[in-house]
Structure 1
Amino acid sequence: MLVKEFRVILPLTVEEYQVAQLYSVAEASKNETGGGEGVEVLKNEPFDNYPLLGNRYSSGQYTYKIYHLKSKVPGFIRILAPEGSLEVHEEAWNAYPYCRTIISNPGYMKEGFHITIETLHAPGDGQLENNPGYMKKNFIICIETLHAPDMGTMENAHELTGEKYKMREVVPIDISNDPVKTADYKVDEDPTKFKSEKTGRGPLIGPEWWKKCDPVMTCYKLVTCEFKWFGLQSRVEKFIQDVERRLFTNFHRQVFCWMDRWHGMTMDDIRRLEDKTKQELDKQRKVGEVRGTRSE
């Protein structure tokens, strides 16, 4: 088992990020789908009575997706895995501002493989002072769990205890200064070059750029992965965590640089977009060429 907590600071409010994330997931899914690979959405519906984070959250939106992979896994896995086994299932319970995602491979690895991604979206200090509605709604989580909402310095956002707390490695992600792979770089998704026409935010320049931003928030993303395959466990678990860091970095660069696309959208707009995207993904997956991120 390998446990890492990725911390992503963004120049957004927590409320803005809810729309931004869902918009960007829909768009990124289309960018990763084609030629027999990509994302298949099976369910996207409300859920209730599913306790999360010590039962602080229990209702929200449930999604069930299948990721059809081939080129997106390392070559040594493709050689070992039988035909049809490279399908990854994802279940997500989005009880915003908390979300839990479980990724598995029930058709082949069964209990031998799983990834759990738990995310807490925390506001910066200024948001609490200037947003009494958020403070009232999330009083318990802000005061008892977050203690002092900050910019990526919360010690134990996910309330880990025992061995898991000892195992956890904290990995900050700086969407402006962290390097990205040449194959992933796009000039229009570079936070050091983007300035929002709608909000005036950006570009994000210099070290600790977040100290000059208002608003600001942090995504605390706890990733626990387990791959029970003798001789490959450590190698694959490291690969998975490296992929997650790459995905989180690229995705949140897009979230920021796509701001003028999603800013001003409502949740009703997002649900309509998700319905339309599902139809497009079903068509794209059957035609064209493989698209998006590939394993090296």
Structure 2
Amino acid sequence: MYAKSTQDHINVYIQLSDAIRILIKMIIKEYRICMPLTVDEYKVGQLFMIAKHSMEQSQKGEGVEVVENKPHEDPVHGKGQFTEKRIHLSSKLPSWIRSMVPKIFYVTEKAWNYYPFTITEYSCSFLSRFSVSITTKYENDNGCQDNILNSPEDVLKNRTVDFIDIVFDECSAGHYKESEDLKEFKSTKTGRGPLQEGWRDDTKPIMCSYKLVEVKFDMMYLVQGRIENFIQSAIREVLLVGHRQAFAWIDDWYDMSIEDVREYESKCQEETNEKVRRKGSIPQEGEPQEQEPGGSLFATPSGTPPSGTTPTTPSGDETDLDGKKKKGKKGWFSWS
């Protein structure tokens, strides 16, 4: 009798959990960020911006540790670049999240770059059911295409489209720099800028980064919405600041070739890793380390190949509540 009662309670709990999972929809946003650049120009500017920004963020011993960066070829997408990074950010988290995470906390980023198309996955170093997937397409337009990423109907139905204005959207006070204020900035080498109200409609050249961001955290239902909203807000701030910098730093990278920027990137990665290691965010040999979950801001794709082997590009298959595979979404793994 007791066993039957216990089993009944378990069955009710499982049914309730499944019902809550269905009711609490994953937050899906498509960010569209226009730039006064061409897609070819942005390829160099983006690499320069990421390398320089990562080095700046590593000044205090917490920042971006580059684990791997090498060429990769995919049978569908062709030749590209695979990178894996660990983003150390314990001190940057709000207190209500810090209370729930280990002292040494990092986010794993795995990116497959087949420019102008990229897939990025993030995973938390200790939460296997917390994941973020970012699918990106770069186009020479002003963000006018409604489904450039070929999203399935269920994604289109649930997504929110958010235009990020690199000129007039305000970043946080801690990220603001007068030299990066695009209402005042004018490029010496290109003559572009300052950018005025309505710039997305009449500026030439113009391009857009279309980014579909899916945040998934199917546990701790009472705080799920709060955490997913926090992550989306953090991602939006990163996208705003990063794209502002890519244009504000144009005179630094405009004359670079792709080979030049890759060399700069490699130099920055070495310096960044050394700064983070010297300050102690990277555990030294012999120190205990957190184990990443078997699945990928946050979880690693399930079935990750052994060290030295590049993970394959995410297939886009997803498992439903009945355990059956379904097609359509890109980027989930067994965060970004």
Band of TM-score, shorter chain: 0.7 to 0.9
* 8 A Cα contact 1:35 1:286, kept in partner: no
For residue 37 of structure 1, give the secondary structure of its aligned residue in structure 2: coil
* 8 A Cα contact 2:120 2:134, kept in partner: yes
Matched ranges for 1:101-250 at <5 A = 101-105=120-124, 107-110=125-128, 112-124=129-141, 151-206=142-197, 208-230=198-220, 231-250=222-241
Tell me the TM-score normalised to structure 1 length.
Answer: 0.83
1:282 and 2:302 aligned: no
In structure 2, the residue matched to 1:71 is: 91
In structure 2, the residue matched to 1:94 is: 113
Q: Which runs of 5+ in 1 are unaligned?
A: 52-56, 125-150, 291-296
Tell me the TM-score normalised to structure 2 length.
Answer: 0.73
Q: CA deviation at 1:91?
A: 0.4
* 8 A Cα contact 1:34 1:288, kept in partner: no
User: Which residue identity lines up with residue 116 of structure 1 in the other structure?
Assistant: S
User: Which residue identity lines up with residue 10 of structure 1 in the other structure?
Assistant: M
* 8 A Cα contact 2:182 2:194, kept in partner: yes
For 1:192 and 1:214, the matched residues in 2 are separated by 16
For 1:115 and 1:281, the matched residues in 2 are separated by 24
1:25 and 2:50 aligned: yes
For 1:246 and 1:286, the matched residues in 2 are separated by 26
Q: CA deviation at 1:50?
A: 5.2
Q: CA deviation at 1:58?
A: 3.1
User: Which residue identity lines up with residue 130 of structure 2 in the other structure?
Assistant: F
Q: Which runs of 5+ in 2 are unaligned?
A: 1-25, 282-336
In structure 2, the residue matched to 1:147 is: none
1:273-295 deviation digits (Å, cap 9, x = unpaired): 111011101221144699xxxxx
Correspondence for 1:46 among 71, 75, 79: 71
In structure 2, the residue matched to 1:140 is: none
For 2:61 and 2:201, the matched residues in 1 are separated by 44
Identity, % of aligned positions: 38
For residue 80 of structure 1, give the secondary structure of its aligned residue in structure 2: coil
* 8 A Cα contact 1:5 1:170, kept in partner: yes
For residue 236 of structure 2, give the secondary structure of its aligned residue in structure 1: helix
For residue 175 of structure 2, give the secondary structure of its aligned residue in structure 1: coil
Q: CA deviation at 1:180?
A: 1.7
User: Which residue identity lines up with residue 68 of structure 1 in the other structure?
Assistant: H
Q: CA deviation at 1:211?
A: 2.2
1:197-244 deviation digits (Å, cap 9, x = unpaired): 1000000011x2122211111110111111233121110000010011
| Structure 1 vs Structure 2 CA RMSD | 1.6
In structure 2, the residue matched to 1:254 is: 245
User: Which residue identity lines up with residue 166 of structure 1 in the other structure?
Assistant: K
For 2:118 and 2:229, the matched residues in 1 are separated by 23
Greater CA deviation, 21-30 or 151-160? 151-160
For 2:213 and 2:55, the matched residues in 1 are separated by 24
Larger radius of gyration: 2
For 1:229 and 1:38, the matched residues in 2 are separated by 27
For residue 191 of structure 1, give the secondary structure of its aligned residue in structure 2: coil
* 8 A Cα contact 1:121 1:219, kept in partner: yes
* 8 A Cα contact 2:84 2:108, kept in partner: yes
User: Which residue identity lines up with residue 89 of structure 1 in the other structure?
Assistant: T
Higher relative contact order (CA 8 A, sep 6+): 1
For 1:36 and 1:275, the matched residues in 2 are separated by 19
In structure 2, the residue matched to 1:36 is: 61
* 8 A Cα contact 1:34 1:286, kept in partner: no
* 8 A Cα contact 1:6 1:220, kept in partner: yes
Greater CA deviation, 4-13 or 75-84? 75-84
